[in-house]
Amino acid sequence: MTTDVASLDLTANAVDLTVQLVDIESVSQNEQAIADAVEAALSACGHLTVSRHGNTVVARTDLGRGERVVIAGHLDTVPLNANLPARREGELLHGLGTCDMKGGDAVILRLAATVPEPNRDVTYILYECEEIDSELNGLYLLGQSHPELMEADFAILMEPSNAEVEAGCQGTLRVEVRATGERAHSARSWKGVNAIHAATPILERLRAYEPRKPMIDGLEYHEGLNAVFISGGVAGNVLPDECVVEVNHRFAPDRSEAEAQQFVRDFFEGYDVTVTDSAPGALPGLDLPAAKAFIEAVGREVNPKFGWTDVARFTSLGIPAVNFGPGDPMLAHKQEEHVPVEHIERCERQLREWLTTPRKPAESASREREHASAGTPERRSSW
Amino acid sequence: MTTDVASLDLTANAVDLTVQLVDIESVSQNEQAIADAVEAALSACGHLTVSRHGNTVVARTDLGRGERVVIAGHLDTVPLNANLPARREGELLHGLGTCDMKGGDAVILRLAATVPEPNRDVTYILYECEEIDSELNGLYLLGQSHPELMEADFAILMEPSNAEVEAGCQGTLRVEVRATGERAHSARSWKGVNAIHAATPILERLRAYEPRKPMIDGLEYHEGLNAVFISGGVAGNVLPDECVVEVNHRFAPDRSEAEAQQFVRDFFEGYDVTVTDSAPGALPGLDLPAAKAFIEAVGREVNPKFGWTDVARFTSLGIPAVNFGPGDPMLAHKQEEHVPVEHIERCERQLREWLTTPRKPAESASREREHASAGTPERRSSW
């Protein structure tokens, strides 16, 4: 470790460690300093095998346990917004990355450093570029270059989820719905057909949309259908011949991508519908033994995950996965993001208990991972 | 006249002269060659006083007649679109500018050259930059630098009007109508308000709009209210908090700009309406003696002008003005623009008769120009 590398004190408590991590600025694609610090600190722990992949750091125990879990968090943040350095006010820690997700990273580092003999083998992954172009996502790249390092019976992503367990995730689909017309000079509009006016029923249908809220594995999902962009227009004196409404459909994981696409096509019947983006949902998978054991151990209520996160990257590999991290996801990416100190402490305490309490016989059963899965490997971050 | 200047043969008939003019490419801001040729050809006519202003050429008779008329045409065209040189097919002349408006320019040049002693004084104006940014418009600039050269009892613009008289013009108004909402992640859309969905009633009202068609001076106008642009959207996974519909209102000249604005505000009641552009209509003014005499002389049906043209530049100076030129205005700016040979010939014949038939006593009456007018000086081209 040279003096150029910021040092992290893994003997500090997780809250102080969060402050240390937040104060190493690590906007996406600027993760070298934080990855160097993380690599150096973990390499000092003799019980871990550490490897570096770009600015992604992997640290593993290899105790020959009958089960392996991944605990992962991303090291990058969205751009600075006059919200560094970290600042504690009472029971809240403020600053860029406090919520998304250096509080979770601190918990990971604390567990990695201080639980030398966990009751199941653990692969800790601290990765780069979650907040930007999904092709740069460290977890995606690791799955491509070293798929064996992703292997596990269960995965926990420490994405902010109010220190509650969020399971599964909804699929997301984007389509362009197109209304057409005929151009004409706006001074003689009766000679043409205004495509923007012709788009009225598209908006009327969206406005009348009633979301499905299916129950799956005891979790209530909540679908959505929203215009996210609208555009049309040629010139200030011309009737436009095209108006495009870009619609984002969020669908519960009991529907396949094909079913969701069909729903959207039927919904906009009479209009040209082009799919521009599609990612499957992920079923909660809470009936798989490793997941069940975790839920029991933390004893928390399980909530459905509405957004798309890297959880789906694991479930698409047949690995049940949940989000379980400090911080309110609604504060992610906001200038005023912050995290309750209590969330960080609770996540650390519960994970520590889960990794150190002697496992029940049922939990040690053979791995039940299925590698077949629902959909193509994903190349996106949380959506 | 140097060999660098393209030469125009003003002894050719107006159709052949149109071909000569078309074949001197003169896309807006590239009018030097054509203006040089026009200036040289007109300067060779001893009965005219010629002046040059940028690439605008003015030629006047000064016979001390009791009345003066302006006959004007622009020299520029919209951009090339693989439609040069001029090409005659039967009774049609094809090519860039044939319709808009070198057929009219040819008529102007023929009259200027071959009617040395017209029955009323004539100011011929051949001007630059009508098709682009209105601040570059040659007629606008001439009105600023040499307002005395614009003075007249009556003005004829040889804009394409199917060789019929088009009088007056409708006003034009653009407004931004804004719907607002609250951003939210599209995975949790129930936390926000979608501004695009909230814009639905704006489009519903536009779709239900019934145009007014008032009769003014015996002409039926036809108003219009059209979305010309729509935009909204933040990101593919965010509920937008703003949707803006840009609306173009064309209003008959019996309404002032203020009345038209009030109409639009009332129409979109409940939404934020911002006026971005406004130009008054022009009353036909056909009751003024010079206009009346022209209409009688050409003996043609008079139509209302729906679009905004430089006609309004004259009417805003209190000078009655009409469009009267060869070519179908619907073909202007089209790749396939063309002009019927018969239109060119008819316009020339009728104007020649009007300028050479001895004037009736009533026509020679004192000038009745009013300099007060309906609205601010205009700075736009045909709209």
Question: Inter-chain contact A186–B226, Cβ cutoff 8 Å?
Answer: yes
Whether residue B193 is predicted with pLDDT greater than 50 in this model: the reply is: yes
Percent of chain B with pLDDT over 90: 70
A32-43 helix and A103-114 helix, angle to the nearest 10 degrees: 20
Q: Cα–Cα distances in Å, from B296 out to A36, B143, B284, B286, B371?
A: 91, 29, 15, 11, 25
Contact A189/B at CB under 8 A = yes
Percent of chain A with pLDDT over 90: 70
A14-22 helix and A103-114 helix, angle to the nearest 10 degrees: 120
Q: What would the mean pLDDT of B203-228 be, rounded to a whole number? A: 95
Nearest-angstrom CA–CA distance, A276 and B236: 11
- Which residue in A230, A232, A308 is closest to B233 by CB distance? A230
- List CB contacts (< 8 A) between A308 and chain B: 187
Question: Inter-chain contact B230–A231, Cβ cutoff 8 Å?
Answer: yes
Contact B194/A at CB under 8 A = yes
Q: What would the mean pLDDT of B27-49 be, rounded to a whole number? A: 97
> Are B206 and A193 within 8 A, CB to CB?
no
Catalytic residue, chosen from A76, A310, A328, A337, is A76
Q: Cα–Cα distances in Å, from B224 out to A179, A191, B206, B210, B227?
A: 21, 11, 10, 8, 10
Q: Which residues make Cβ contacts (< 8 Å) with residue B292, sequence separation at least 6?
A: B286
Q: H or E stretch including A41?
A: helix A32-43
Please give the pLDDT value at position B2. Answer: 44
Question: Inter-chain contact A236–B230, Cβ cutoff 8 Å?
Answer: no
Question: Inter-chain contact A188–B330, Cβ cutoff 8 Å?
Answer: yes
Burial class (CB in 10 A: 0-12, 13-18, 19+), A135: exposed
Per-residue pLDDT of B251-307, as tens digits, reads 999 999 999 999 999 999 999 999 998 888 888 878 788 888 898 888 778 888 888
Whether residue B25 is predicted with pLDDT greater than 60 in this model: the reply is: yes
**B189, closest residue in chain A (CA to CA):** A224
Per-residue pLDDT of A61-76, as tens digits, reads 999 999 999 999 999 9
Mean pLDDT of chain B: 90
Q: Cα–Cα distances in Å, from B167 out to B3, B308, B320?
A: 42, 11, 9
Report cis status (omega within 30 of 0) of the bond before A340: no
Name residues 317-356 of chain B within 8 A of A (Cβ).
330
More confident residue, B306 or A141: A141
Q: B302 — phi, psi (to 5°)?
A: -105, 130
Taking the CA of residue B78 and the nearest CA in chain A, the distance in Å comes to 15
pLDDT band at A369, cuts 50/70/90? very low
Residue contacts between A and B (CB atoms, under 8 Å): 162
Contact B210/A at CB under 8 A = no
- Which residue in A187, A226, A231 is closest to B231 by CB distance? A231
Q: Give the mutation candidate from B189, B210, B225 for the A interface (greatest A CB count, under 10 A).
A: B189
Question: Inter-chain contact A250–B187, Cβ cutoff 8 Å?
Answer: yes
SS3 A263: helix
Percent of chain A with pLDDT over 70: 93
Please give the pLDDT value at position B4. Answer: 65
Burial class (CB in 10 A: 0-12, 13-18, 19+), A238: buried
Contact B306/A at CB under 8 A = yes
Contact B189/A at CB under 8 A = yes
A130 is catalytic: yes
**A190, closest residue in chain B (CA to CA):** B224
Partners of residue A175 on adjacent β-strands: A247, A275
Structure tokens at A201: 């029923």
pLDDT band at B342, cuts 50/70/90? very high
Between CA B120 and CA B319, with CA B154 as vertex, the angle to 5 degrees is 145
Burial class (CB in 10 A: 0-12, 13-18, 19+), A301: exposed
Taking every pair of Cα atoms in chain B, the longest distance, rounded to a whole number of angstroms, is: 81
Please give the pLDDT value at position A120. Answer: 96
Structure tokens at B382: 């045909």
Between CA B307 and CA B315, with CA B313 as vertex, the angle to 5 degrees is 90
Per-residue pLDDT of A87-138, as tens digits, reads 999 999 999 999 999 999 999 999 999 999 999 999 999 999 998 877 899 9
Structure tokens at B123: 């100011």
Q: Which residues make Cβ contacts (< 8 Å) with residue A78, sequence separation at least 6?
A: A27, A28, A96, A100, A131, A333
Taking the CA of residue B162 and the nearest CA in chain A, the distance in Å comes to 15
pTM for the complete prediction? 0.76
> Up-side HSE of residue A208: CA atoms within 13 Å toward CB?
9
Give the pairing of strands B49-53 and B56-60: antiparallel
CA dihedral (B354, B360, B363, B364) positive or negative: positive
Per-residue pLDDT of B135-150, as tens digits, reads 899 999 999 999 999 9
SS3 B228: strand
